[in-house]
Amino acid sequence: MIRRLRSLEEVRAACGDDDLVMWAAQGLSGGSRAWALGGAVVAGSPAVSRHDRLAVWGEASSAASSAVALVRHALRELGASYRPLGEVELMRRVAGKVDGVREAAEFSWMSLSTLPDEDDGAVGWLDGEAAAGEVAGLLAADAPHSYAVPGAAGVSRWAGVRVDGVLAAVAAEAWSAPTVGLVAGVATRSSLRGRGLAGLVCRWVSRELVAGRGRAALMVDDGNGAAIRVYERIGYRRRRVLAAYVT
């Protein structure tokens, strides 16, 4: 029988404290819901990282049928706007069994639970409308496809580093959950790339989120090998995931 999970403690116990599920659950607030069946769990939240998202968890070999049943149930309850995502093999089985669910894109979910080394103090949180305008200008010019932008719902705060007074690289905390802080909007001014500035800011923000929430996480395109290497040097662990959508 499908079981509604009504507390974060129940979600944590059902999924083994999986960071993707705990992030997608978003504290079970604001319309977020989660369910379990057998060895599978789903957790869905509206408007998280620009989409209504449904994390799917379970062993592809042993829990695929339970995951299929849960996705069907969750989509009936939450609506077809929700986009399922989870580890690649499991999601391929789900997409092959649930009517209307189609594979969209593969990418990597990366998470960190240990404090990175401290930096030299050059990075800090940015405050004020002027700083927000600087961030927006940098993103518009050098990272126009960033999901996180100043003022967007769920984007909490921005950190940055300056070179000769110019904002050179930024990263945001956005769409965080109580026990998983999400790093987003990592970008460097094109004229200042190659100096390790994005890695410096990302390391600092990651340290802040691990210290404050216990874990940090981020999403990165699989084709962005340079960024993945930076994140792995910080200490992030990589998981390949597949996102789907409902036709």
Please list the rounded mean pLDDT of every run of 10 residues in the chain (247 residues): 98 98 97 97 97 97 96 98 98 97 97 88 92 97 96 96 96 98 97 94 97 98 95 97 97
What CATH number is associated with residue 26? Answer: 3.40.630
Q: Has residue 245 been placed in a domain?
A: no
Nearest residue to 52 via CA among 40, 41, 42, 67: 42
Same domain, yes or no: 8 and 97: yes
Can you tell me which residue has the tokens 């874990």? 215
Residues 53 and 143 in one domain: no
In angstroms, what is the C-alpha Rg of the chain? 18
At residue 117, the pLDDT reads 84
102 and 148 co-located in one domain: no
Which of 48, 81, 108 is the last residue in one of the domains?
A: 108
170 found inside a domain:
yes
Q: Are residues 20 and 94 in the same domain?
A: yes
Q: Could you give the number of structural domains in the chain?
A: 2
- Count of Cβ atoms closer than 10 Å to residue 10 Cβ: 16
Does 163 lie in the same domain as 93? no
241 - beta bridge partners?
87, 107
Asked if residue 209 belongs to a domain, the reply is yes
The neighbouring-strand residues paired with 81 are: none
User: Do 101 and 160 sit in the same domain of this protein?
Assistant: no
Do 103 and 152 share a structural domain? no
**CATH number of residue 192's parent domain:** 3.40.630.30
Compute the distance between CA of residue 87 and CA of residue 9 in angstroms, rounded to an integer. Answer: 23
Domain shared by 53 and 146, yes or no: no
CB 175 within 8 A of CB 183: no
244 within a domain of the structure (yes/no): no
Give the number of other Cβ atoms within 10 Å of residue 194's Cβ: 7
Report if residue 116 sits inside a domain: no
Tell me, what's the pLDDT at 95?
A: 97
Residues 100 and 168 in one domain: no
Residues 73, 164: one domain?
no
73 and 164, same structural domain?
A: no
Question: Same domain for 102 and 156?
Answer: no
Range of the domain at 87: 3-108
Q: For residue 86, what pLDDT is reported?
A: 98
Say if CB 168 and CB 188 are below 8 A apart.
Answer: yes
For the chain, the distance separating the N- and C-terminal CA atoms, rounded to the nearest angstrom, is 27
Domain contains 134: yes
pLDDT at 177: 98
Look at residue 230 and tell me if it is in a domain.
no
> Rounded to 5 degrees, what are φ and ψ at 129?
-65, -35
In a domain, 97, yes or no: yes
With residue 228 as reference, give the H or E element that holds it: helix 225-234
The structure's pTM equals: 0.95
Q: Taking the CA of residue 50 as centre, how many other CA atoms within 13 Å lie in the half-sphere pointing to its CB?
A: 10
Q: In 16-146, which ranges are continuous DSSP H helix? A: 19-25, 64-78, 88-97, 128-142
Closest CA to 217 of 14, 7, 23: 23
- Euclidean distance between CA atoms 148 and 173, whole angstroms: 9
